[in-house]
Amino acid sequence: MSQQRVVLISGGASGIGAALATAHSRLGDTVVVADVHPRDPEHVHLDVTDRQAFARVARRVVEEHGRIDVFYNNAGIATGGLVEELSPEHWDRTIDVNLRGVVHGIEAVYPLMRAQRSGHIVNTASLAGLLPAPVMAPYTATKHAVVALSQALRMEARAHGVKVTAVCPGFVDTPLLQAVNRDVPATGVNGEAPALVERLRPHLLPAEELARIVVEALPKNPALVVAPRQARLAAWAQRFAPGLVRLATARELRRYRRAARRAR
């Protein structure tokens, strides 16, 4: 892994993507950051919901740098609220970014990696892709889909020398936590978000620490990267003691509903 790599990161201007960009840059890798909200003149504008734009960005990287060694399919949004609070816009926007955006990334990059007979696709999912997550049904549905897609593609891609990993972090200290339902109608979650963030703050995983964990894990080619330790324990509990997970999530659901009733 000491050889300089060419790394493409969607959603790379902030949060986990920005931390990954910094980690790879420190290793001497060539990093191309693509984001719908570029924060640097060197960033590439990319709306992941635009299939053709994604393909153009991927081709441009190969034309300029010769290859793509690591592709972080990372862009995503947070959507929250009870199902009865959600509008079609919530569902459409979440599916368009969190699922179709990932599909567009695979469509753009996977053929290029197949042609070069190498590469590593890293899809950002979530612990919510391994556990049921009430009050965020569109988000958890898309993240479960990303995990399944990653595992299926991993099996197919192996024959072509391409690796695939899904990253499933727990709560990470990123702007995403403060941007629930951005660009879509607010729900009760928006009023609860600041209190939730403060309650979770002592347990939030810094984005830089997640990036370190992911980058160090890549040489081992894991199917899943689940972090931090609490997230791994939760995933273990879902597999071997799902009743405990149901109890914990039911408690949080009751708390949310009580807060929603008080707010009316």
Range of the domain at 227: 6-263
Q: Which whole number is the average pLDDT over 161-185?
A: 85
The residue behind tokens 């990993």 is 165
Contact call for residues 169 and 177 (beta carbons, < 8 A): no
Condensed to tens digits (0 to 9), the pLDDT of residues 80-115 reads 999 999 999 999 999 999 999 999 999 999 999 999
CA atoms within 13 A on the CB side of 151: 11
Determine, yes or no, domain membership for 147.
yes
The residue behind tokens 């708390």 is 255
Question: Of 201, 86, 205, 203, which is closest to residue 135 (Cα–Cα)?
Answer: 86
Determine, yes or no, domain membership for 113.
yes
Token pair in block for residue 210: 């997640």
Whether 256 is catalytic is: no
b/e map of 62-78 (b: 16 or more CB within 10 Å)? beebeebbbbbbbbbbb
Q: Choosing from 72, 110, 139, 256, which is the catalytic residue?
A: 139
Burial of 107 (0-12, 13-18, 19+ CB in 10 A): middle
pLDDT at 68 over 70: yes
Q: How confident is the model at residue 183 (pLDDT cuts 50, 70, 90)?
A: confident
pLDDT at 262 over 90: no
Determine, yes or no, domain membership for 1.
no
Determine, yes or no, domain membership for 136.
yes
Q: For residue 39, give the CATH number of its domain.
A: 3.40.50.720
Determine, yes or no, domain membership for 59.
yes
Q: What are residue 112's phi and psi, to 5 degrees? A: -70, -40
Query: For the chain, what is the domain count?
Result: 1
Give 215's contacts (C-beta < 8 A, 6+ positions apart): 20, 23, 24, 27
Determine, yes or no, domain membership for 156.
yes
Contact call for residues 29 and 6 (beta carbons, < 8 A): yes
Find the range with the poorest average confidence among 27-36, 146-155, 177-186: 177-186
CA atoms within 13 A on the CB side of 214: 33
Token pair in block for residue 234: 């939760």
Amino acid symbol at 44: V
The 3-state DSSP class for residue 61 equals helix
Residue 1: what pLDDT? 44
Q: Which whole number is the average pLDDT over 146-175?
A: 95
